[in-house]
Amino acid sequence: MINFKITKKSKKSNARIGVLSTPHGSIETPSYVNVATQAVVKTFTSEDIKDSGGQILIANTYHLHIRPGEDAIKKHGGIHQFMNWNGPIMTDSGGFQVFSLGFGKDYGTGKILKQKSSEKIVSGSQPKAVKITEQGVEFRSYIDGKKLFLGPAESIKIQEKIGADIIFAFDECTSPLADHEYNARALERTQRWLQTCIKVKKSDQALYGIVQGGKFKDLRIASARYTTAQAVDGFGIGGEFGDSTTTMKSMLHTVLKELPEQKPRHLLGIGHVKDVETVIKEGVDTFDCITPTHYARHGYAFVIYKSKWTKLNLNNKKYLLSKEPIDKNCDCFTCKNYTRGYIHHLLRAYEITPLRLLSIHNVYAFNKYVENLRGAIKKGAL
Amino acid sequence: MINFKITKKSKKSNARIGVLSTPHGSIETPSYVNVATQAVVKTFTSEDIKDSGGQILIANTYHLHIRPGEDAIKKHGGIHQFMNWNGPIMTDSGGFQVFSLGFGKDYGTGKILKQKSSEKIVSGSQPKAVKITEQGVEFRSYIDGKKLFLGPAESIKIQEKIGADIIFAFDECTSPLADHEYNARALERTQRWLQTCIKVKKSDQALYGIVQGGKFKDLRIASARYTTAQAVDGFGIGGEFGDSTTTMKSMLHTVLKELPEQKPRHLLGIGHVKDVETVIKEGVDTFDCITPTHYARHGYAFVIYKSKWTKLNLNNKKYLLSKEPIDKNCDCFTCKNYTRGYIHHLLRAYEITPLRLLSIHNVYAFNKYVENLRGAIKKGAL
C-alpha cells in the first residue's frame, strides 16, 4: 500500500509538494521516475541511480514478461531483490507497449505521431500487428515471434509476481490516428478492463487507474470521472494529448481538474525535458521520461543554458580540446571528474564508458532540475 | 624516470617481489598492467580501475596517434590528466599494432597463429598491408584509409607528447609465419631502431627496449644481450614464443637469464590467464593481458575453481534462476551486489550494464590473483 500526503500547494499554479510513501521508502513529489524498462536503468547499476539523485523507478510489464519472465523475477524474490534496488518501484501495465508496437509496425510511429500530409487518417483502425478482443490483446514476441496474450487479468497477475510497489491497470492506448468513434469504444473497453484489474488483484500493491481518451476532451473528462469513481490508489495519465505543449497543457488541465486532489497522479512517458515545468505546474506528481538516458547513449548532454534546456552534441569535433566539464555548475560524478574533450574522444572511439558517463550527467541534471522546481514551489515561486 | 628495487627473491623459482617507482606513484611487482588501449579501460571509469585493484595501465601509441592524436592529449595536459588517472601509465610503441594489423589482414591471424594445415609458411614474407623500410612502417589508418608512417623517431615523439611514465622502443614484431632468415634481418633493424629511439628521446620518461627474435632461441639470446648493452631503463619482451605454455616458458627462461636482474621486465600481452603463474615464476615483473575485459564483454566471468582458472559463460540460460554471486569468495563490487541470474538477464536483454559488471569482476579477480601470488612469493611458497 501507499500513502500520499500533500505538504504544500502552490498559490501561483496547480503545483503541489507531496510525500509518497511506499513499502520501500518515501519520495518527495513532484519527482522524476527513472526508467528501468528491463529492470535496469540503461548503463547504470542500482548504485548509480542513487548517486544520480534517483528516488523511484518504473519498469515494464510487457518487456519483463517477455524476458526474463515474471516467474524468474519472483524466484529471485521480486524485482527489488532481483535488481538490488531497495527504493520504490512502479511497473507500467504493458498496454502502451503492446499497442505502440502495433502502431509502430503499421505506421512507423510511436506515441507521438509525426503525420505525413500524404497519410490518411484511418477511421477506427486497429493496429494490424496485434489483435484486440474483449479479453485483451494477442501479439507476437519480438524475440521469437511466439504468439502471446496480454489482458487486464494477465497484466495484474504478472505485475503481482514482479512485485513493484505501484502497479498500473491494463489499458488500451489508442493510435494517434484513431478517430472519436474508435476512441470512445476503446475507452469503454479500458473501463471494463479496469474492473477486471480491480477484481483480479490479490496483492496489497497500490493500483493506479489510467485516464485515456486520446485527444478528445469529452472522452478525457469521461475517463477521469469514471476512474475517480473506482477503487484506485492513484492515477496514470496515458496516451496522446495532441502534438504541441499548448494542447498538452490544456488537456492535462482538463483531466487533472477532474481528479481528486488527495490521490497521486503519474504522467506516463513525457517526451520532452522542456515540458517538465509545465506538467508540474498543472499538478502532476510523478512522471517518467526516457530522454535523459536515451540521448546520453547517442552522445548528447543536457545542460540548462539561460534557464532553458539545451543539448550539447559531444560527438562534435569542436569539443576535442575542451578541458571543461559538461556543465561547470553541475556536481555529478561525470562533471567532477571528466572533460568534454575526453568524453568526445571516447565517443569517437566507440567506447562503452562515455554512454554511462553521459547517462550519469543527464539523469543527475534531470533529478536536480526537478529538485529545484520543488524548491521553487516551497518558496512560492512556481 | 623510474626506480626499481627488488625486495625479495624466491628460492623456489626466479620469481621476485619488487617496487617500481614512477613520477605517478609506486606499484608492487609482479603486477598485472591494466589495458587502456584508447586511454580507457573498456567499460571503466578511472575510479573503477582503482576499485578493481588496478595499479598501473598500458595505453597504445598506435591507437592514440590515430585517434584522438597525440597533440590533443598533450593539450589536455598529457594522458594522466586526459583520462583522470593519477597512477603510473605505460605506452606501448605501436610496433605490434602496425604489424599485427598487417598480418591480420593477410592471414586472419593475431599474435598467436592458428595455422591451418593447408597454409604454406611463407618464407621471409612481410605483411602486404604495410610497407617496412629502414625508417619505419607505412600503413593506412583504419578510420579513413589515410596513409600514415610510424618509425622509431615518430613513435618516441608521439609517446613524449602522450606523456606516460614508461615508454617502449619501436620494434618490428614479426609474423608467426616468418622464418629464421627474415627474423634475423628484422632483429637487426629493430636494433638500429632502438639506437634511433635512444637518440631521439628528450624527455625523462623511462624507456624500455624490446627483446624480439620470434621463436628462434639464438635470435632471442642475441636480442636480449644487445638490448641489455643499451641505455634502457627496463625491458619489454615481445612477439611470439611458440604455441604452447611449455615453449613459452622455455623461451622466457632463456631470455630472462640474459637480462640484468636489477632492471624491470615487462611481458607484452600474454594470451591466457592460466600462464600468469608461469611467467611470474620465470621472473617477469609486469605483464598486460586483454583477456579479463575482453571476455567480460562477451559474457564470461573468470573464477578460480579447484586452484585453476575457469570461465563461466553467463549467457547460458542455466544461470537465470541463480541467486549466487559470480564467485561467493570474491569481494568485488559485482559479487557483493549482483547475482548470476541478474547478470544473465541483462546479457540476454542486450543491456550495457552487465559488460561493466563482468569487467569489474574479472579485473578485480585478476588483480587479486596476482596479489595472492605476490603473497606466496613473500611467504616463500612460489
Does the interface ipTM go beyond 0.90?
yes
**Is the CB of B9 inside 8 Å of chain A's CB atoms?**
no
pLDDT (0 to 100) of residue A319: 98
Asked if residue A74 belongs to a domain, the reply is: yes
8 Å CB contact of B352 and A43: yes
Task: Note whether B373 and B303 are within 8 A (CB).
Answer: no
8 Å CB contact of B353 and A43: yes
**Is the CB of A42 inside 8 Å of chain B's CB atoms?**
yes
pLDDT (0 to 100) of residue A123: 43
pLDDT (0 to 100) of residue A234: 98
The yes-or-no answer on residue A275 being catalytic is no
Query: Given phi > 0 = left and psi -120 to 50 = alpha, else beta, which region is B304?
Result: beta
Q: What is the CATH number of the domain that holds A149?
A: 3.20.20.105
pLDDT (0 to 100) of residue B103: 60
For residues B100 and B189, state if they share a domain: yes
Asked if residue B169 belongs to a domain, the reply is: yes
pLDDT (0 to 100) of residue A127: 60
For residues B227 and B151, state if they share a domain: yes
Q: Please give the Cα distance from A160 to A260 (Å, whole number).
A: 26
Last residue of a domain, one of A270, A289, A308: A289
For residues B279 and B373, state if they share a domain: no
Asked if residue B349 belongs to a domain, the reply is: yes
Mind telling me how many Å the CA of B321 is from chain A's nearest CA? 6
Task: Note whether A67 and A142 are within 8 A (CB).
Answer: no
8 Å CB contact of B76 and A40: no
Q: Please give the Cα distance from A30 to A282 (Å, whole number).
A: 11
Q: What is the separation of C-alpha B148 from the centre of its chain, rounded to a whole number of angstroms?
A: 24
The counts of H helices and E strands in chain B are 14, 16
pLDDT (0 to 100) of residue A128: 63
**Is the CB of A317 inside 8 Å of chain B's CB atoms?**
no
Judged by average pLDDT, the poorest of A212-216, A287-291, B117-121 is: B117-121
B43 neighbourhood in chain A, CB within 8 Å: 352-353
* pLDDT band of A117, cuts 50, 70, 90: very low
* pLDDT tens digits for range A310-356: 999 999 999 999 999 999 999 999 999 999 999 999 999 999 999 99
DSSP B217-275: HHHHHHHHHHHHTSS-SEEEE-S---SSHHHHHHHHHHHHHHS-TTS-EEE-----GGG
* Partner residue opposite A45 with nearest CB, options B42, B349, B357: B357
Q: What is the dihedral of CA A76, A79, A84, A88, to 10 degrees?
A: -150
Task: Name the residue among B55, B141, B134 with its Cα closest to residue B94.
Answer: B141
**Is the CB of B162 inside 8 Å of chain A's CB atoms?**
no
Q: Single out the catalytic residue among B165, B275, B285, B288.
A: B288
The long-range contacts involving A195-199, CB below 8 angstroms and separated by at least 24 positions, are A195/A230, A196/A151, A196/A152, A196/A153, A196/A156, A196/A170, A197/A152, A197/A153, A197/A155, A197/A156, A197/A169, A197/A170, A198/A169, A198/A230, A198/A231, A198/A232
Q: Please give the Cα distance from B272 to B295 (Å, whole number).
A: 11
- Residue B278, all three cell numbers: 608461469
**Is the CB of B287 inside 8 Å of chain A's CB atoms?**
no
Mind telling me how many Å the CA of A334 is from chain B's nearest CA? 9
Size of interface A-B (CB pairs under 8 A): 114
8 Å CB contact of B72 and A342: no
Q: Please give the Cα distance from A221 to A169 (Å, whole number).
A: 18
- Residue A346, all three cell numbers: 571516447
8 Å CB contact of B345 and A39: yes
pLDDT (0 to 100) of residue B353: 98
Whether the per-residue pLDDT at A149 is higher than 70: the answer is: yes
Largest CA distance in chain B: 61
Whether the per-residue pLDDT at A134 is higher than 90: the answer is: yes
* Partner residue opposite A42 with nearest CB, options B47, B348, B352: B352
* pLDDT tens digits for range B347-380: 999 999 999 999 999 999 999 999 999 999 999 9
Distances (CA, A) of A15 to A271, B280, B290, B381: 20, 66, 53, 70
**Is the CB of A202 inside 8 Å of chain B's CB atoms?**
no
pLDDT (0 to 100) of residue A268: 95
The CA-to-CA distance between both ends of chain B, in Å, stands at 30
8 Å CB contact of B342 and A44: no
pLDDT (0 to 100) of residue B14: 97
Asked if residue B382 belongs to a domain, the reply is: no
For residues A151 and A211, state if they share a domain: yes
B341 neighbourhood in chain A, CB within 8 Å: 68, 72, 76, 82
Q: Please give the Cα distance from B95 to B154 (Å, whole number).
A: 11
For residues A228 and A318, state if they share a domain: no
Q: Please give the Cα distance from B62 to B133 (Å, whole number).
A: 18
Task: Note whether B45 and B38 are within 8 A (CB).
Answer: no
Asked if residue B117 belongs to a domain, the reply is: no
**Is the CB of A341 inside 8 Å of chain B's CB atoms?**
yes
pLDDT (0 to 100) of residue B95: 86
The yes-or-no answer on residue B165 being catalytic is no
Last residue of a domain, one of B289, B314, B346: B289
**Is the CB of B67 inside 8 Å of chain A's CB atoms?**
yes
Mind telling me how many Å the CA of B361 is from chain A's nearest CA? 14
For residues B206 and B325, state if they share a domain: no
Distances (CA, A) of B14 to A52, B11, B30, B253, B382: 49, 8, 12, 9, 9
**Three-state DSSP state, A132:** strand
Residue B47, domain extent: 3-112+122-289
The long-range contacts involving B18-21, CB below 8 angstroms and separated by at least 24 positions, are B18/B264, B18/B285, B20/B56, B20/B88, B20/B264, B20/B285, B20/B286
Whether the per-residue pLDDT at A197 is higher than 60: the answer is: yes
Last residue of a domain, one of A256, A289, A322: A289
> DSSP code of A274?
G
Cα atoms in the Cβ-side hemisphere of radius 13 Å centred on B304: 14
pLDDT (0 to 100) of residue A175: 82
8 Å CB contact of A321 and B84: no
> DSSP code of A127?
P
pLDDT (0 to 100) of residue B121: 42
For residues A248 and A274, state if they share a domain: yes
Q: What is the dihedral of CA A292, A293, A297, A299, to 10 degrees?
A: 20
Chain A: residue nearest B354 by CA?
A43
Sequence-ordered list of residues with C-beta below 8 angstroms from that of B57, at least 6 positions apart, any chain: B33, B34, B35, B36, B41, B49, B85, B87, B88, B89, B90
What letter represents residue B14's amino acid? N
- Chain mean pLDDT for chain A: 92
Distances (CA, A) of B173 to A241, A318, B240: 64, 36, 8
**Is the CB of B72 inside 8 Å of chain A's CB atoms?**
yes
8 Å CB contact of A345 and B43: no
Mind telling me how many Å the CA of A69 is from chain B's nearest CA? 10
* Partner residue opposite A72 with nearest CB, options B63, B67, B320: B320
* pLDDT tens digits for range B184-238: 999 999 999 999 999 999 999 999 999 999 999 999 999 999 999 999 999 999 9
- Residue A26, all three cell numbers: 518515501
Q: Single out the catalytic residue among B92, B165, B275, B285.
A: B92
Cα atoms in the Cβ-side hemisphere of radius 13 Å centred on B26: 9
Q: pLDDT: is B252 or A115 the higher one?
A: B252
Task: Note whether A327 and A368 are within 8 A (CB).
Answer: no
8 Å CB contact of B76 and A321: yes
- Residue A191, all three cell numbers: 473501463
Whether the per-residue pLDDT at B113 is higher than 50: the answer is: no
For residues A273 and A216, state if they share a domain: yes
Q: Give me the residues of A, 22-41, that contact B with CB < 8 A.
A: 38-40
A322 neighbourhood in chain B, CB within 8 Å: none
8 Å CB contact of B352 and A77: no
Cβ burial of A261 (10 Å; 0-12, 13-18, 19+) is exposed
For residues A159 and A27, state if they share a domain: yes
**Three-state DSSP state, B98:** helix
Whether the per-residue pLDDT at A108 is higher than 60: the answer is: no
Q: Span A184-201, mean pLDDT?
A: 97
pLDDT (0 to 100) of residue A97: 82
Task: Note whether B54 and B359 are within 8 A (CB).
Answer: no
> DSSP code of A234?
E
Q: Which residues pair with A267 in a beta bridge?
A: A237, A287
Whether the per-residue pLDDT at A131 is higher than 90: the answer is: no
For residues A177 and A209, state if they share a domain: yes
Q: Please give the Cα distance from A34 to A30 (Å, whole number).
A: 13
Give the residue from A47, A353, A360 with the most B CB atoms within 10 Å of its CB, the best one to mutate. Answer: A353
Q: Span B56-69, mean pLDDT?
A: 97
The b/e string for B304-335 (b: 16+ C-beta within 10 A; e otherwise) is beeeebebbebeeeebbebeebbbeebebbbb
Task: Note whether A213 and A239 are within 8 A (CB).
Answer: yes
Q: Please give the Cα distance from B353 to A40 (Å, whole number).
A: 8
8 Å CB contact of A84 and B337: yes
Give the residue from B37, B40, B319 with the most A CB atoms within 10 Å of its CB, the best one to mutate. Answer: B40
pLDDT (0 to 100) of residue A317: 97
> DSSP code of B294?
H
* Partner residue opposite A68 with nearest CB, options B63, B82, B345: B345
Mind telling me how many Å the CA of A342 is from chain B's nearest CA? 6
Asked if residue A294 belongs to a domain, the reply is: no
* pLDDT tens digits for range B276-330: 999 999 999 999 999 999 999 999 999 998 889 999 999 999 999 999 999 999 9
8 Å CB contact of B338 and A84: yes
Q: Which residues pair with B27 in a beta bridge?
A: B20
8 Å CB contact of A348 and B77: no
**Is the CB of B141 inside 8 Å of chain A's CB atoms?**
no
Query: How many folded domains does chain B comprise?
Result: 2
- Residue A249, all three cell numbers: 497543457
Q: Please give the Cα distance from A77 to A314 (Å, whole number).
A: 40
Asked if residue A205 belongs to a domain, the reply is: yes
- Chain mean pLDDT for chain B: 92
pLDDT (0 to 100) of residue B49: 97
Q: Single out the catalytic residue among A92, A165, A171, A275.
A: A92
Task: Name the residue among A47, A34, A43, A51 with its Cα closest to residue A89.
Answer: A34
For residues A236 and A312, state if they share a domain: no
Task: Name the residue among B294, B303, B300 with its Cα closest to residue B347.
Answer: B300
Asked if residue A366 belongs to a domain, the reply is: yes
Q: How many CB atoms lie within 10 A of CB A378?
A: 14
For residues B236 and B308, state if they share a domain: no
* Partner residue opposite B349 with nearest CB, options A46, A67, A339: A67
* pLDDT tens digits for range A52-89: 999 999 999 999 999 999 999 999 999 999 999 999 99
Tell me the angle at which helices B340-348 and B353-378 cross, rounded to the nearest 10 degrees. 140
What letter represents residue B364's amino acid? Y
B34 membership: H or E segment, kind and range: strand B31-35
- Residue B208, all three cell numbers: 624500455
8 Å CB contact of B40 and A76: no
Q: Please give the Cα distance from B335 to A327 (Å, whole number).
A: 34
